[in-house]
Structure 1
Amino acid sequence: MTQADSDNTNAAAARHGFGVDVGGSGIKGGIVDLSTGDLVGDRYKIETPQPATPDAVARTVAEIVAHFDWTGPIGVTLPAVVTNGVARSAANIDKSWIDTDARALFAKAIGNENITVLNDADAAGVAEDKYGGGKGKDGVVVLLTFGTGIGSAVLHNGVLLPNTEFGHMEIGGKEAEHRAASSVKENEGLSYKEWAKEVSKVLETFEALLWPDIFIAGGGISRKSEKWIPHLTNRTPVVPATLLNTAGIVGAALAADNAVASAETDTSAGSVA
C-alpha cells in the first residue's frame, strides 16, 4: 500500500462530528474526531452576546458553524435543562430562553435540520465517559463539574440519564453547589483541604443515593486535582476529568452523531416491519 493509499484509508475511516458549547462568557465550536474525541484543528470561540437572548445566541452559533463550512449534524449545549430540544431553565443566559424550542431556533438560524441540543454538563459527561476519565469504566459514572455552581451528569454503561441537576440537591441545609462549588472555595478563602471536606459531604450524599462506580471531577479546579482529591474521604473513587475545555464541544458532537445513528436504526426497523 502506498502512503497516498494509506492516507486515503485513514481519512475514510475517520468519523467527524461538530459541536458547539454555549457558555455564559463564550461560545465555542469545532470539528471532532469521533474515533478519538480529539478536535480536528482549532476550536473557534466568540464572546457570548449580552444579553444572551435566544436570537442573539442563535446568530452567534450560526456564525461559528459557518466559520467551518460545516453542513452535517450539529450538537449544541446550553447551560439549561433541555427536554426534547426545548430549554426548560436558564443559567448564565437570558431568562427568555425558558420554554424556547432551542432545536427549532438553531435549525432556522443555521439552515440545518440535523440539530441536537442538550444540557452542558450532560455533554461533558457523555464526552468524559467515552473518551476521558470514564473511558473503559462499566456501571454508574457520575460527572460533577465544579465551578460557579455544580453541574452533574449520570451515565449507566454509557447511557445518559439527562438533566439530573444534582447541584441543587439540599445537603445539610444548603444546596450542594452552595456548599462545595469551587466558587465557594474562592469566596470563603478555604484551603484545598478545607474545601475537600465540603466536597466529601456532597459526594457521600450522592453515593448513598446512586452507588456510583466512579466520580469524575470536572471544572477548572480539576486541573489542580492533586491538591484536593487526596483529601476526599468518600468511599467511591474520584478521578479528574481529562478533556477540560473541549468536553462540551466533544460531547455535543457525539450526541448529534448518536441521534443520527438512532434515527437510522429506527428507520431501518420501520422498513423491516
Structure 2
Amino acid sequence: MSNISPQLKVLSIDIGGSHIKATVLDKDGALLVDYNKVETPQPATPENVVNAIKKLAKPFEGFNRISVGFPGYVRDSIVKTAPNLANAAWANFNLGKKLEEELGCPAAVVNDADMQGLGVVAGKGLELVITLGTGFGTALLLDGKLLPHLEVGQSPVTKTKTYDKFIGEKAFEHEGKKKWNTRMKRVLKNLKTLFNYDYLYIGGGNARELDFELDKNIKLVTNKDGIKGGARLWAPQQAIKPKKQLSTIKK
C-alpha cells in the first residue's frame, strides 16, 4: 500500500446505530460524489447490514477499494463485538471478506471512531478522538498512526454504568440536555487524566449538544470530516499532513 495509484477510488462507509452513510473518495480523501444514506436495518444482523450496503453502493461507479467504519471492536476486518447492533450475530463475522465477495474489490473494516480519527487528526503528537452518538466511541493516534483500539465505551464510569450507558443517545434522551452536559464534563475530565492527550477531537451527532466552553486543545469535528478517513486506510500513514484548520460544528 506504499505506492498509491492516483486512480484510487474508495467507497467509504460509516455504519451507525441509526443510519449507514456512504460516499466515494479520491486518494486524498476528497469527495467524488454526494453522500447517500439509508436507515440502519432492524434487526441489524450481518445479512441485513450487508444488503443495506449493497443498496447504498449500487448508484456509485468506479470505486476500487472499500473502507468501512464499524461500531464495535474489529480486528483484521473481522467483527468481534457490536454492542449497538445485533451483537451476538456479529461475533467473528468477517465483514471485510463478505464485502469483497459481494462488491468485487478489496475491503478494509475498522472501528468507526478509528476511521473518523484518521479523517480528522492533525498528525502530530498524541491525539484522541471521541464520537458521541448511539454509543461512545474512541480512537487514539500517535503522530497520525492508529494505536491499538480500546473499547472505552464498554468500560465502567460509575458502579452501574459504562460510558455507553452514561452518555450515549439513550442517556441523552432519558436525562435531558442539562444533566447530559454535566456528565460530559465529568467524562472529559476523566479522559484528560487518563490519556494526557495533546489534542482531543469530538465528533458524532451529539457533539453539537455540548453547551459549555471547551479547552483550547479540544475541537468539534463533523461526520463529513470523519468519513474521509476511509481514504487513509489505503494510503501511507505519512500521508497525514499537519493541518492548520479543522472543520467545526457551529453551535
TM > 0.5: yes
Q: Give the residue type in structure 1 aligned to 2:217.
A: P
Corresponding residue of 1:72: 64
| Separation in structure 2 between the aligned mates of residue 115 and residue 169 of structure 1, nearest angstrom | 29
Corresponding residue of 1:150: 136
| Separation in structure 2 between the aligned mates of residue 236 and residue 207 of structure 1, nearest angstrom | 13
Q: Alignment partner of 1:171: what SS?
A: coil
User: In the alignment, is residue 252 of structure 1 matched against residue 238 of structure 2?
Assistant: no
User: In the alignment, is residue 41 of structure 1 matched against residue 38 of structure 2?
Assistant: no
Corresponding residue of 1:186: 173
| Separation in structure 2 between the aligned mates of residue 224 and residue 47 of structure 1, nearest angstrom | 22
Q: 1:209 aligns with which of 194, 207, 211?
A: 194
Structure 1 pair 150/257, CA: closer, same or farther in 2 (3 Å)? same
After superposition, residues 106-117 of structure 1 pair within 5 angstroms as 106-112=99-105, 114-117=106-109
Give the helix-richer structure, 1 or 2. Answer: 1
CA displacement 1:134-169 (0-9 Å, x = unmatched)? x3x621111111123211111111011243111223
Structure 1 pair 181/64, CA: closer, same or farther in 2 (3 Å)? closer
- The answer for unaligned runs of 5 or more in structure 2 is 240-251
Corresponding residue of 1:177: 164
Corresponding residue of 2:55: 63
Q: Give the residue type in structure 2 aligned to 1:178.
A: K
| Separation in structure 2 between the aligned mates of residue 143 and residue 223 of structure 1, nearest angstrom | 15
Q: Alignment partner of 1:256: what SS?
A: coil
CA displacement 1:39-74 (0-9 Å, x = unmatched)? 223112223333222223223323333321234111
| Separation in structure 1 between the aligned mates of residue 226 and residue 124 of structure 2, nearest angstrom | 22
**Contact 2:13/2:21 (<8 A) preserved:** yes
Identity of aligned residues (%): 29
Q: Which has the larger radius of gyration?
A: 1
Q: How far apart are residue 180 of structure 1 and its match?
A: 3.2
| Separation in structure 2 between the aligned mates of residue 59 and residue 181 of structure 1, nearest angstrom | 27
Q: Size of the alignment, in residue pairs?
A: 232
| Separation in structure 2 between the aligned mates of residue 181 and residue 51 of structure 1, nearest angstrom | 19
Q: Give the residue type in structure 2 aligned to 1:116.
A: A
| Separation in structure 1 between the aligned mates of residue 79 and residue 169 of structure 2, nearest angstrom | 26
Q: How far apart are residue 213 of structure 1 and its match?
A: 0.7
CA displacement 1:87-113 (0-9 Å, x = unmatched)? 00013322311111111111111122x
Q: How far apart are residue 247 of structure 1 and its match?
A: 4.2
Structure 1 pair 166/86, CA: closer, same or farther in 2 (3 Å)? same
Corresponding residue of 2:24: 31
Q: Alignment partner of 2:93: what SS?
A: coil
**Contact 1:19/1:248 (<8 A) preserved:** no
**Contact 2:72/2:82 (<8 A) preserved:** yes
Q: TM-score, normalised by structure 2?
A: 0.80
Q: How far apart are residue 258 of structure 1 and its match?
A: 4.6
| Separation in structure 1 between the aligned mates of residue 30 and residue 79 of structure 2, nearest angstrom | 28
